Protein backbone atom coordinates (compact mmCIF):
# COMPACT_ATOMS: atom_id res chain seq x y z
CA UNK A 1 0.00 0.00 0.00
CA UNK A 2 1.28 3.50 -0.84
CA UNK A 3 1.83 5.59 2.26
CA UNK A 4 0.49 9.05 1.41
CA UNK A 5 -3.29 9.08 1.76
CA UNK A 6 -5.42 10.79 -0.87
CA UNK A 7 -7.47 13.47 0.85
CA UNK A 8 -11.12 13.32 -0.20
CA UNK A 9 -13.64 15.92 0.94
CA UNK A 10 -17.33 15.04 0.95
CA UNK A 11 -19.95 17.69 1.72
CA UNK A 12 -23.42 16.84 2.97
CA UNK A 13 -21.74 13.84 4.55
CA UNK A 14 -24.59 13.12 6.99
CA UNK A 15 -27.15 13.05 4.18
CA UNK A 16 -28.64 10.15 2.23
CA UNK A 17 -26.02 10.04 -0.52
CA UNK A 18 -23.27 10.50 2.03
CA UNK A 19 -24.46 7.41 3.89
CA UNK A 20 -23.67 5.28 0.83
CA UNK A 21 -20.78 7.24 -0.58
CA UNK A 22 -18.51 7.37 2.46
CA UNK A 23 -18.45 3.60 2.88
CA UNK A 24 -17.66 3.06 -0.82
CA UNK A 25 -14.76 5.50 -0.70
CA UNK A 26 -13.44 4.23 2.64
CA UNK A 27 -13.53 0.60 1.46
CA UNK A 28 -11.32 1.33 -1.55
CA UNK A 29 -13.94 1.45 -4.37
CA UNK A 30 -12.67 4.81 -5.55
CA UNK A 31 -8.87 4.50 -5.64
CA UNK A 32 -8.46 0.74 -5.23
CA UNK A 33 -7.21 -1.47 -2.40
CA UNK A 34 -3.65 -0.09 -2.38
CA UNK A 35 -4.39 3.58 -1.86
CA UNK A 36 -5.20 4.88 1.61
CA UNK A 37 -7.76 7.67 1.83
CA UNK A 38 -8.32 10.36 4.40
CA UNK A 39 -11.92 11.58 4.55
CA UNK A 40 -12.69 15.23 5.22
CA UNK A 41 -16.39 15.58 5.92
CA UNK A 42 -18.30 18.86 5.82
CA UNK A 43 -21.76 19.39 7.26
CA UNK A 44 -23.87 22.24 8.53
CA UNK A 45 -23.60 22.67 12.30
CA UNK A 46 -26.95 21.04 13.25
CA UNK A 47 -26.01 17.87 11.33
CA UNK A 48 -22.60 17.39 12.99
CA UNK A 49 -23.97 15.14 15.72
CA UNK A 50 -25.53 12.80 13.15
CA UNK A 51 -22.25 12.88 11.26
CA UNK A 52 -20.41 11.78 14.41
CA UNK A 53 -22.63 8.69 14.38
CA UNK A 54 -21.70 7.97 10.76
CA UNK A 55 -18.02 8.28 11.68
CA UNK A 56 -18.53 5.75 14.49
CA UNK A 57 -19.89 3.37 11.85
CA UNK A 58 -16.93 4.05 9.58
CA UNK A 59 -14.63 3.21 12.50
CA UNK A 60 -16.57 0.02 13.12
CA UNK A 61 -15.92 -1.20 9.57
CA UNK A 62 -12.14 -1.28 10.25
CA UNK A 63 -11.45 -0.53 6.58
CA UNK A 64 -7.75 -1.12 5.82
CA UNK A 65 -7.78 1.76 3.28
CA UNK A 66 -9.23 4.35 5.65
CA UNK A 67 -6.30 6.37 6.98
CA UNK A 68 -8.27 9.00 8.89
CA UNK A 69 -11.50 11.01 9.15
CA UNK A 70 -11.95 14.67 10.03
CA UNK A 71 -15.30 16.38 10.31
CA UNK A 72 -16.36 20.00 10.61
CA UNK A 73 -18.64 22.83 9.56
CA UNK A 74 -15.97 25.22 8.30
CA UNK A 75 -15.13 24.65 4.63
CA UNK A 76 -11.73 26.36 4.94
CA UNK A 77 -10.66 23.83 7.58
CA UNK A 78 -12.28 20.76 6.03
CA UNK A 79 -11.00 21.46 2.48
CA UNK A 80 -7.43 22.14 3.59
CA UNK A 81 -5.08 20.28 1.22
CA UNK A 82 -7.82 18.10 -0.35
CA UNK A 83 -7.07 16.33 -3.64
CA UNK A 84 -10.68 15.47 -4.44
CA UNK A 85 -13.78 17.39 -3.41
CA UNK A 86 -17.15 15.71 -3.82
CA UNK A 87 -19.72 18.46 -3.29
CA UNK A 88 -22.92 16.61 -2.50
CA UNK A 89 -24.41 18.74 0.27
CA UNK A 90 -27.50 20.54 -1.01
CA UNK A 91 -31.24 20.25 -0.66
CA UNK A 92 -32.89 17.54 -2.80
CA UNK A 93 -36.06 18.32 -4.77
CA UNK A 94 -39.43 16.95 -3.74
CA UNK A 95 -42.33 15.61 -5.84
CA UNK A 96 -43.50 17.97 -8.59
CA UNK A 97 -40.32 20.08 -8.56
CA UNK A 98 -37.71 20.37 -11.33
CA UNK A 99 -34.04 20.42 -10.30
CA UNK A 100 -33.77 24.01 -11.54
CA UNK A 101 -36.28 25.01 -8.84
CA UNK A 102 -33.45 24.43 -6.35
CA UNK A 103 -31.22 27.11 -7.86
CA UNK A 104 -32.08 29.80 -5.38
CA UNK A 105 -32.00 27.48 -2.33
CA UNK A 106 -28.78 25.66 -3.26
CA UNK A 107 -26.82 28.08 -5.46
CA UNK A 108 -25.73 30.03 -2.39
CA UNK A 109 -23.92 26.98 -0.99
CA UNK A 110 -21.50 26.72 -3.90
CA UNK A 111 -20.06 30.25 -4.03
CA UNK A 112 -18.46 30.10 -0.56
CA UNK A 113 -17.41 26.48 -1.06
CA UNK A 114 -15.72 27.39 -4.38
CA UNK A 115 -13.96 30.28 -2.63
CA UNK A 116 -12.83 28.02 0.22
CA UNK A 117 -11.44 25.43 -2.22
CA UNK A 118 -9.65 28.24 -4.03
CA UNK A 119 -7.98 29.24 -0.79
CA UNK A 120 -6.98 25.95 0.79
CA UNK A 121 -7.34 22.90 -1.54
CA UNK A 122 -4.32 21.12 -3.06
CA UNK A 123 -3.20 22.49 -6.44
CA UNK A 124 -4.33 19.28 -8.16
CA UNK A 125 -7.82 19.29 -6.60
CA UNK A 126 -10.53 17.64 -8.73
CA UNK A 127 -13.96 19.03 -7.85
CA UNK A 128 -17.12 17.04 -8.58
CA UNK A 129 -20.55 18.56 -7.97
CA UNK A 130 -23.41 16.15 -7.29
CA UNK A 131 -25.75 18.54 -5.41
CA UNK A 132 -28.53 19.84 -7.66
CA UNK A 133 -28.84 21.62 -9.98
CA UNK A 134 -25.42 20.08 -10.45
CA UNK A 135 -24.25 21.75 -13.68
CA UNK A 136 -25.04 25.27 -12.58
CA UNK A 137 -23.77 24.68 -9.05
CA UNK A 138 -20.48 23.61 -10.65
CA UNK A 139 -20.50 26.80 -12.71
CA UNK A 140 -20.94 28.80 -9.50
CA UNK A 141 -18.14 26.96 -7.66
CA UNK A 142 -15.81 27.32 -10.66
CA UNK A 143 -16.51 31.04 -10.99
CA UNK A 144 -15.71 31.57 -7.33
CA UNK A 145 -12.37 29.76 -7.55
CA UNK A 146 -10.33 31.88 -9.97
CA UNK A 147 -6.98 30.21 -9.12
CA UNK A 148 -8.18 26.66 -9.77
CA UNK A 149 -8.12 25.83 -13.49
CA UNK A 150 -11.63 25.44 -14.94
CA UNK A 151 -10.74 21.91 -16.12
CA UNK A 152 -10.61 20.86 -12.46
CA UNK A 153 -14.38 21.33 -12.03
CA UNK A 154 -17.07 18.92 -13.18
CA UNK A 155 -20.67 17.99 -12.48
CA UNK A 156 -22.24 14.57 -12.28
CA UNK A 157 -24.10 13.20 -15.30
CA UNK A 158 -22.73 9.71 -14.75
CA UNK A 159 -25.96 8.62 -13.08
CA UNK A 160 -27.84 9.50 -16.28
CA UNK A 161 -25.16 7.72 -18.31
CA UNK A 162 -25.52 4.57 -16.19
CA UNK A 163 -29.33 4.80 -16.40
CA UNK A 164 -29.12 5.01 -20.19
CA UNK A 165 -26.88 1.92 -20.35
CA UNK A 166 -29.24 0.01 -18.08
CA UNK A 167 -32.36 0.92 -20.12
CA UNK A 168 -30.70 -0.09 -23.39
CA UNK A 169 -29.40 -3.31 -21.89
CA UNK A 170 -32.96 -4.26 -20.81
CA UNK A 171 -34.44 -3.34 -24.18
CA UNK A 172 -31.97 -5.47 -26.13
CA UNK A 173 -31.52 -8.13 -23.45
CA UNK A 174 -27.74 -7.78 -23.56
CA UNK A 175 -25.28 -7.42 -20.68
CA UNK A 176 -24.42 -3.84 -19.71
CA UNK A 177 -20.79 -4.65 -20.54
CA UNK A 178 -21.75 -4.98 -24.25
CA UNK A 179 -22.74 -1.30 -24.34
CA UNK A 180 -20.07 1.31 -25.02
CA UNK A 181 -19.79 4.95 -26.10
CA UNK A 182 -22.95 6.10 -24.35
CA UNK A 183 -23.27 9.87 -24.19
CA UNK A 184 -25.39 12.21 -22.12
CA UNK A 185 -25.34 15.71 -23.61
CA UNK A 186 -26.21 18.93 -21.79
CA UNK A 187 -27.83 19.41 -18.40
CA UNK A 188 -28.56 16.96 -15.57
CA UNK A 189 -32.26 17.79 -15.95
CA UNK A 190 -35.33 16.70 -17.86
CA UNK A 191 -33.89 18.34 -21.01
CA UNK A 192 -30.76 16.16 -21.06
CA UNK A 193 -30.10 14.23 -24.27
CA UNK A 194 -29.11 10.56 -23.91
CA UNK A 195 -27.67 9.77 -27.35
CA UNK A 196 -27.99 6.32 -28.94
CA UNK A 197 -26.69 7.44 -32.34
CA UNK A 198 -23.07 7.23 -31.22
CA UNK A 199 -23.46 4.45 -28.66
CA UNK A 200 -22.52 0.90 -29.59
CA UNK A 201 -23.81 -2.54 -28.68
CA UNK A 202 -21.25 -5.27 -29.20
CA UNK A 203 -19.40 -2.83 -31.48
CA UNK A 204 -22.49 -2.08 -33.65
CA UNK A 205 -24.39 1.19 -33.76
CA UNK A 206 -26.97 1.21 -30.96
CA UNK A 207 -29.71 3.23 -32.73
CA UNK A 208 -29.53 0.92 -35.75
CA UNK A 209 -29.52 -2.16 -33.51
CA UNK A 210 -32.65 -0.90 -31.73
CA UNK A 211 -34.19 0.02 -35.10
CA UNK A 212 -37.15 1.74 -33.45
CA UNK A 213 -37.13 5.55 -33.56
CA UNK A 214 -40.46 5.68 -31.72
CA UNK A 215 -39.00 3.76 -28.73
CA UNK A 216 -35.84 5.87 -28.84
CA UNK A 217 -37.76 9.17 -28.85
CA UNK A 218 -40.83 8.38 -26.80
CA UNK A 219 -39.64 5.77 -24.32
CA UNK A 220 -35.85 5.69 -23.98
CA UNK A 221 -35.10 9.42 -23.81
CA UNK A 222 -37.94 10.36 -21.42
CA UNK A 223 -37.35 7.31 -19.19
CA UNK A 224 -33.69 8.25 -18.70
CA UNK A 225 -34.35 11.98 -18.42
CA UNK A 226 -37.19 11.58 -15.91
CA UNK A 227 -35.77 8.69 -13.91
CA UNK A 228 -34.90 10.92 -10.97
CA UNK A 229 -38.53 12.04 -10.70
CA UNK A 230 -39.79 8.43 -11.00
CA UNK A 231 -37.55 7.43 -8.08
CA UNK A 232 -38.77 10.35 -5.96
CA UNK A 233 -42.35 9.33 -6.73
CA UNK A 234 -41.72 5.68 -5.81
CA UNK A 235 -39.34 6.07 -2.86
CA UNK A 236 -40.58 9.34 -1.45
CA UNK A 237 -36.95 10.49 -1.51
CA UNK A 238 -34.44 11.12 -4.26
CA UNK A 239 -32.00 8.53 -5.52
CA UNK A 240 -29.18 7.97 -3.06
CA UNK A 241 -27.30 4.68 -3.44
CA UNK A 242 -27.27 4.92 -7.25
CA UNK A 243 -26.19 8.57 -7.02
CA UNK A 244 -23.37 7.58 -4.66
CA UNK A 245 -22.34 4.77 -7.00
CA UNK A 246 -22.30 7.13 -9.99
CA UNK A 247 -20.27 9.67 -8.00
CA UNK A 248 -17.70 6.95 -7.31
CA UNK A 249 -17.66 5.91 -11.01
CA UNK A 250 -17.17 9.53 -12.07
CA UNK A 251 -14.42 10.36 -9.59
CA UNK A 252 -12.64 7.02 -10.16
CA UNK A 253 -12.53 7.43 -13.94
CA UNK A 254 -11.40 11.05 -13.57
CA UNK A 255 -8.58 9.98 -11.24
CA UNK A 256 -7.56 6.68 -12.83
CA UNK A 257 -8.66 7.05 -16.48
CA UNK A 258 -11.62 6.05 -18.66
CA UNK A 259 -11.74 2.50 -20.06
CA UNK A 260 -9.69 1.83 -23.21
CA UNK A 261 -11.76 2.10 -26.42
CA UNK A 262 -14.69 3.65 -24.61
CA UNK A 263 -15.75 7.01 -23.25
CA UNK A 264 -17.82 8.31 -20.33
CA UNK A 265 -20.21 11.23 -19.83
CA UNK A 266 -19.00 14.08 -17.65
CA UNK A 267 -20.29 17.63 -17.31
CA UNK A 268 -17.28 19.83 -17.90
CA UNK A 269 -16.50 23.40 -18.88
CA UNK A 270 -17.25 23.78 -22.58
CA UNK A 271 -14.48 24.92 -24.91
CA UNK A 272 -17.09 25.56 -27.63
CA UNK A 273 -17.09 21.96 -28.88
CA UNK A 274 -20.29 20.87 -30.64
CA UNK A 275 -21.62 24.43 -30.56
CA UNK A 276 -21.96 24.50 -26.76
CA UNK A 277 -21.08 28.06 -25.67
CA UNK A 278 -17.69 28.32 -24.02
CA UNK A 279 -17.76 28.39 -20.22
CA UNK A 280 -21.04 26.49 -19.67
CA UNK A 281 -20.74 23.28 -17.65
CA UNK A 282 -22.33 20.83 -20.03
CA UNK A 283 -22.27 17.06 -20.34
CA UNK A 284 -20.12 15.67 -23.15
CA UNK A 285 -18.55 12.38 -24.16
CA UNK A 286 -15.06 12.48 -22.65
CA UNK A 287 -12.00 10.30 -22.38
CA UNK A 288 -9.70 10.66 -19.39
CA UNK A 289 -6.03 9.95 -18.91
CA UNK A 290 -3.50 11.18 -16.34
CA UNK A 291 -6.31 12.87 -14.43
CA UNK A 292 -7.28 15.09 -17.37
CA UNK A 293 -10.45 14.84 -19.46
CA UNK A 294 -10.74 15.54 -23.16
CA UNK A 295 -13.97 16.00 -25.07
CA UNK A 296 -14.32 13.35 -27.80
CA UNK A 297 -14.10 15.22 -31.09
CA UNK A 298 -15.43 14.62 -34.59
CA UNK A 299 -18.81 13.00 -33.86
CA UNK A 300 -21.33 13.71 -36.57
CA UNK A 301 -24.42 15.42 -35.19
CA UNK A 302 -27.59 14.98 -37.26
CA UNK A 303 -30.62 17.32 -37.14
CA UNK A 304 -32.42 15.29 -34.47
CA UNK A 305 -29.41 15.31 -32.14
CA UNK A 306 -28.70 18.98 -32.95
CA UNK A 307 -32.20 19.99 -31.84
CA UNK A 308 -31.91 18.03 -28.59
CA UNK A 309 -28.44 19.37 -27.76
CA UNK A 310 -29.49 22.94 -28.52
CA UNK A 311 -32.54 22.64 -26.23
CA UNK A 312 -30.63 21.36 -23.21
CA UNK A 313 -27.81 23.87 -23.74
CA UNK A 314 -30.37 26.70 -23.94
CA UNK A 315 -31.57 25.66 -20.48
CA UNK A 316 -27.99 25.77 -19.15
CA UNK A 317 -27.63 29.30 -20.53
CA UNK A 318 -30.89 30.31 -18.81
CA UNK A 319 -29.66 28.88 -15.51
CA UNK A 320 -26.36 30.75 -15.92
CA UNK A 321 -28.30 33.98 -16.50
CA UNK A 322 -30.45 33.32 -13.43
CA UNK A 323 -27.45 32.81 -11.11
CA UNK A 324 -25.74 35.85 -12.61
CA UNK A 325 -28.80 37.86 -11.61
CA UNK A 326 -28.61 36.34 -8.13
CA UNK A 327 -25.02 37.64 -7.91
CA UNK A 328 -23.57 34.12 -7.56
CA UNK A 329 -21.30 34.51 -10.60
CA UNK A 330 -19.93 37.55 -12.34
CA UNK A 331 -21.63 38.40 -15.63
P1 LIG B 1 -29.99 14.94 1.92
O2 LIG B 1 -30.97 16.02 2.26
O3 LIG B 1 -30.24 13.57 2.46
O4 LIG B 1 -28.55 15.38 2.38
C5 LIG B 1 -28.02 16.63 2.08
C6 LIG B 1 -27.05 16.97 3.19
O7 LIG B 1 -26.38 18.16 2.83
C8 LIG B 1 -27.74 17.21 4.54
O9 LIG B 1 -27.15 16.37 5.54
C10 LIG B 1 -27.49 18.69 4.82
O11 LIG B 1 -27.30 18.96 6.21
C12 LIG B 1 -26.20 18.91 4.02
N13 LIG B 1 -25.93 20.30 3.69
C14 LIG B 1 -26.81 21.28 3.38
N15 LIG B 1 -26.17 22.45 3.19
C16 LIG B 1 -24.84 22.18 3.35
C17 LIG B 1 -23.68 22.99 3.30
N18 LIG B 1 -23.74 24.28 3.04
N19 LIG B 1 -22.49 22.40 3.52
C20 LIG B 1 -22.42 21.09 3.82
N21 LIG B 1 -23.49 20.27 3.90
C22 LIG B 1 -24.69 20.82 3.68
O23 LIG B 1 -29.86 14.92 0.34
P24 LIG B 1 -29.22 13.79 -0.59
O25 LIG B 1 -30.28 12.81 -0.97
O26 LIG B 1 -27.96 13.29 0.00
O27 LIG B 1 -28.92 14.66 -1.92
C28 LIG B 1 -27.94 15.67 -1.91
C29 LIG B 1 -28.01 16.44 -3.22
O30 LIG B 1 -27.64 15.59 -4.31
C31 LIG B 1 -29.39 16.99 -3.58
O32 LIG B 1 -29.26 18.30 -4.11
C33 LIG B 1 -29.88 16.03 -4.65
O34 LIG B 1 -30.84 16.61 -5.48
C35 LIG B 1 -28.58 15.77 -5.38
N36 LIG B 1 -28.54 14.59 -6.24
C37 LIG B 1 -27.86 14.70 -7.42
C38 LIG B 1 -27.75 13.62 -8.28
C39 LIG B 1 -27.01 13.72 -9.58
O40 LIG B 1 -27.05 12.77 -10.35
N41 LIG B 1 -26.33 14.81 -9.88
C42 LIG B 1 -28.37 12.41 -7.92
C43 LIG B 1 -29.06 12.32 -6.70
C44 LIG B 1 -29.15 13.44 -5.87
C1 LIG C 1 -31.52 12.09 -9.77
O2 LIG C 1 -31.31 12.21 -10.98
O3 LIG C 1 -31.96 11.04 -9.27
C4 LIG C 1 -31.20 13.23 -8.85
O5 LIG C 1 -30.76 14.34 -9.57
C6 LIG C 1 -32.31 13.56 -7.93
C7 LIG C 1 -33.44 14.27 -8.63
O8 LIG C 1 -33.84 15.35 -8.16
O9 LIG C 1 -33.92 13.76 -9.64
Within 8 A by CB and 6+ apart from 105, the residues are 90, 91
pLDDT digits over 260-305, tens only?
999 999 999 999 999 999 999 999 999 999 999 999 999 999 999 9
Among 2-11, 112-121, 236-245, the minimum mean pLDDT is found in 2-11
Query: Contact, 236 vs 12, CB < 8 A?
Result: no
Average pLDDT over residues 27-47: 97
Is 152 labelled a binding residue? Answer: no
Q: Which helix (H) or strand (E) holds 318?
A: helix 303-325
Alpha helices in 90-153 (DSSP H): 103-120, 134-143
Question: What dihedral do alpha carbons 268, 218, 311, 100 form, nearest 10°?
Answer: -70
Ligand 1: residues within 6 Å at CB? 11-12, 14-18, 42-44, 47, 88-93, 109, 130-132, 134, 156, 159, 188, 238-240, 243
Closest CA to 132 of 159, 158, 156: 156
Is 163 labelled a binding residue? Answer: yes
- Per-residue pLDDT band for 65 (boundaries 50, 70, 90) equals very high
> Average per-residue pLDDT in the chain?
97
pLDDT confidence of residue 290: 97
Q: Catalytic site residues?
A: 188
Distance 268 CA to ligand 1 centre (A): 20
Ligand 2: residues within 6 Å at CB? 92-93, 99, 132, 159, 228-229, 231, 238-239, 243
- Per-residue pLDDT band for 2 (boundaries 50, 70, 90) equals low
Domains of the chain: 6-155 (3.40.50.720), 157-320 (3.90.110.10)
Amino acid sequence: MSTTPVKVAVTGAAGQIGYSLLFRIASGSLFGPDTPVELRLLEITPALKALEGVVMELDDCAFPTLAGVEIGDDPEKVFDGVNHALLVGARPRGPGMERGDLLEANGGIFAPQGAALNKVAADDVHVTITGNPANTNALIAMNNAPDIPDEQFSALTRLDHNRAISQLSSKLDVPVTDITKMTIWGNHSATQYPDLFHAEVGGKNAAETVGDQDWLENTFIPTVAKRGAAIIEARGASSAASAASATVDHARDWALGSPEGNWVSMSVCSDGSYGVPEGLISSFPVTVSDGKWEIVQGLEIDDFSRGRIDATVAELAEERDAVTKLGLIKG
